[in-house]
Amino acid sequence: MVYRFIVLLFFPYLLCAQEILPPKQAASGPGGSDYVHASVSQYDYAQEPDGFWLYEPADPKPETANVIVFIHGYGAYNPMIYGKWIKHLVRKGNTVIYPRYQRNLLSPSPKLFTENVVEAILNALDTLKEKEHVAPITDDFSLVGHSYGGVIAANLAVYHKRYTIPKPEAVMLVSPGTGPFKGGLLDDYKDFPEDTNLVIMVSDKDHTVGDKIGKRIFKTAVNVKNRNLIKQYSDYYGSQRLTSGHDESYSIDLDFDTGLRNFTAKRALKIGRLNAIDYFGYWKIFDALNDFTRFGTNKVYALGNTIEQKSLGLWSDGTRIKELEVIVPELEQKLISNEVER
């Protein structure tokens, strides 16, 4: 009887003491761990600032693979910084080109970043045609870029004909911005290819570049019907805080470490973490964007302000993680009209 009384008395405190954790990676679907390949073949052609790394699916090695260009943020030319995301994409069956557009943090000028990425892409595509590599499929060419890499990716889409690169069919811009280095910005993005599937993701507490550039691209890419602006918010409900800063897409994997330790790499090692924002945010949405672009499937996870797109999963006690906020072109027009009426 006394034991029962003690249990009842302290039961609420025992509950509070239990950790409330975010969800683990899903077993299947966009962002999930249903991998087709067991490993990644790595090739280093990145000695120069217009060089690149190649990552190809292996075990088993396919004859062909779709190509994704992954464009890093300012100073993040050690691929380990996004390593787990790269590994995820490759083990799903994609070849990833990771351009290096900087020699170091001071060189070259930001005005040359896009040119260096173009050179890297063209050389990488030529390299992939060689016998030992997985033959590239470029019909459904995809770009994903973080921070300054997001700005570069937008430039590539707008000027793909001028640069003689394949037309990007799926583009994901993650926290796009340049900070104080304005060399890569366009006045507007009205020439963005109208049939591109475009997702722009920004974070609520991004104190590095904010959401200004992301909003500018979304508002001025007026001919792109399938474009979504997505905002991620912090959620401190559980035992592990889910933050909404500039570098939420960092996902450290030392299998991709080049040994470089500049300021960006050292900072990434301190703050990089893998959590529900990756699995149910960036990874899920970009996987689904590619699925929809290539096969017409999984659109609800990528575009349209759907429950499937907005959900970041559940905390371990069943509480829903704060959802993504999604703005689609139709909703933007309503917001603008409401502002005008006021």
Annotated domain spans of the chain: 2-341
Residue 168 pLDDT greater than 90, yes or no: yes
Cβ neighbours of 334 (radius 10 Å): 11
Cβ neighbours of 41 (radius 10 Å): 17
pLDDT, tens only, 199-248: 999 999 999 999 999 999 999 999 999 999 999 999 999 999 999 999 99
Q: What would the mean pLDDT of 294-314 be, rounded to a whole number? A: 98
pLDDT of residue 284: 98
Residue 126 pLDDT greater than 60, yes or no: yes
pLDDT of residue 285: 98
pLDDT of residue 16: 46
- Decide which of 2.170.190.11, 3.40.50.1980, 3.40.630.10, 3.40.50.1820 is the CATH code for 2-341: 3.40.50.1820
pTM here is 0.92
Q: How far is the C-alpha of 184 from the C-alpha of 187, rounded, in Å?
A: 10
CA 33, 66, 188 angle in degrees (round to 5)? 100
pLDDT mean across residues, the chain: 93
pLDDT, tens only, 247-297: 999 999 999 999 999 999 999 999 999 999 999 999 999 999 999 999 999
pLDDT of residue 12: 44
Sign, Cα dihedral of 122, 127, 130, 136: negative
Closest CA to 156 of 121, 203, 194: 121
